[in-house]
Structure 1
Amino acid sequence: MYSPELNSIFEEIWDQWNDEVRQLFYNNYEDLPYLLDVKVDKHLFRALAQFWNPAYNCFTFGKVDLVPTIEEYMALLRCSKFQEDRAYSRDSLKDLILAHPDVRKRVDVFALSIYNLVVFPKALGHVDKAVTDLFDQLDKRVTPVPAISAETFRSLNACRKAGEGRFISCAQLLLAWFHSHFWKVDRVSYRVFSENYSPLKEIVATPRRDDILEEKWMAILQNLQEEDIE
C-alpha cells in the first residue's frame, strides 16, 4: 500500500511548482494529483476488504452488492493520457522532476511516478516496466482505467484468499469510489453537470472521521441498506 513518505515527496514537488506548471499538469492529466490527498483510513480499508466476494467479484454488504466499475473509475480520475517510455529509479525521481529543463517532461515524469507508486505500487525499487509498457500504448483515445480496475479486482481476490494478504493496487482510488456512494442531501448540484466538475476533488474536500475502529466499520457495513447507498 502507498506510504506517507512517498506522499511527502510528491507534495514537496507539487509545492515547488508555479501555477503555470500546475495548470499544464491539469490540462494533460486532469484529476490525478488529487489522489495524493485521499487519506487511507486503515480501519475502514481492512473492514471493507473483508466484504469482498471473490466468487462474484463484488462487495457484499448484507443484502447489498456493490462493485467498482470502469465507468465509475473513469469518472473519478478523468485521466487518459501518458507519454513515457523508460523506467526511473525512485531515488532519482525527485531530482529528475525538479531539474529537467523540459517543463512538459517534468510533468510527464511526475504523472508516471504517481501512477506507478500510487496506482500500481508493485515495484519496490524502480518504476515498474509493466507500467511504462502500458503507457506506451496510451494516447488520447485510450484509457488506463481498465488495467487499474483489473488490478484492483486481482489484488482484492488475493487478499481474501490469503486472509492477511497485502493490497497492492490503488487504495486511495478504491476508498474514493467507496465514499462516492455515500453522498448526503446536498450531493446533487449544478456543478455535477459542469465539464469542470471534479468528483475526486469534492471527495477529498469532504471532512471525514478517522477515529472509527475496524470492528465498528464491520458492524456498519454489515448492516448497510439499499437506501444508504447512492
Structure 2
Amino acid sequence: MERGFLDEDFTRISVTQNSLQELKEILDQWNEENPAYSCFTLGKVDLVPTVEEYMALLWCAKIQVDKVYSRAINPPTFLKKLMNIIGISEQWVTTRIKQKRDNKCISWRNLKDVVLKHLDMKKRVDVFALSIYGLVIFPKALGHVNEAVTDLFDRLDKGFTPVLAILAETFRSLNACRRAGEGRFIGCAQLLLAWFHSHFWKVDKVSYRVFSGSYFLLKEVVATPMRDDISMEKWIAILQNLQEEDVE
C-alpha cells in the first residue's frame, strides 16, 4: 500500500494479518471440554470479569500489580502458618485442625473465639481478615477456613495481589458448574454479583462510575435491599430477554 505525499516522497505500509483458521480448528476440536471465557452469554453479548474490574471492585489498585500470588514451593506447614497468624500456642492450634476431604482446615467457630477474646488487637484484626478470605472469598469447606487460604493470606502483607487468584477461582468454579449443568459456585458470590450489577445498574441511562476512586460498588450492593419477590424462573426470563443495549 503506497500513499504519495509529495512528488518525491512516499510512505510504504506493509499490512499482514495472522491466519485464524488453525486456531479456529483447534477450538472446534475442544468443543465444550475446555473453559469458556464468556462466563455469561446474554443474547449476543458475552460478559466475563476482567482483572481491571476486579481490582477496582476490591480497591486493590494500590497493591503492586507486578507481584502476582502463586503458591510457594516450600511453604510453612498449616500448623506453623496458623500459629504465626493467630499468635496462640502450638497445642491450641493442633487440637483444632481438622481434615475435610483432601484439605486441612480450621472451623470459623474456633476463629470467632480468637476474634472476640484475643488480647492483641492486631491479631484480632488479622484473624478476622483471614476468616473473610476463607469464608467469603475462597469458601472451600462450609464453615471452615482452608489451608490454601492461609498460604495466600501469609503473603498479602508482602505486596502480593490476590486479584488474579480470585478471578481464576471464579472461572474455575463457573466452568465446573457449566460442565456438570449444576453445582455450588465456590468463590466470592458477593463480588461476582457486584461485578454483574456494574454492567446493568443505570441511573437516568448513565452508568455508575464503577472505576471512580470515590465510588465503592460493594457498599452500594450491600446497602441495596435484595428483591425476594421475584422467582428464579422470573429472573431467568429477565436475563434471557435482555437486549444488547441493556448491557453496559
**TM-score tier after normalising by the smaller chain length:** 0.5 to 0.7
Mapped pair 1:67 → 2:63: no
Q: Which runs of 5+ in 1 are unaligned?
A: 1-52
Match of 1:85 among 81, 106, 111: 81
Mapped pair 1:167 → 2:148: no
Structure showing greater relative contact order (alpha-carbon pairs closer than 8 Å, 6 or more residues apart): 1
* TM-score (norm: length of structure 2): 0.62
Q: Which residue is 1:135 aligned to? A: 153
Distance 1:191 1:182 in 2: 11
Q: Which has the higher helix share?
A: 1
Q: Which runs of 5+ in 2 are unaligned?
A: 1-33, 65-79, 83-104
Deviations 1:145-181 (A, max 9, x none): 1111111111111111112222111111111111121
Mapped pair 1:184 → 2:202: yes
Mapped pair 1:213 → 2:231: yes
Amino acid at match of 1:210: D
Shift of 1:198: 1.5
CA distance 1:56–1:185, shift in 2 (3 Å): same
Q: Does the 8 A contact of 2:39 with 2:174 survive in 1? A: no
Aligned length: 175
Q: Which has the higher strand share?
A: 2
Shift of 1:85: 3.1
Q: Which residue is 1:56 aligned to? A: 37
* TM-score (norm: length of structure 1): 0.67
Match of 1:101 among 88, 104, 119: 119
Deviates more, 1:173-182 or 1:205-214: 205-214
**Structure ID, larger Rg:** 2
Distance 1:216 1:124 in 2: 29
Q: Does the 8 A contact of 2:56 with 2:211 survive in 1? A: no
Amino acid at match of 1:182: F
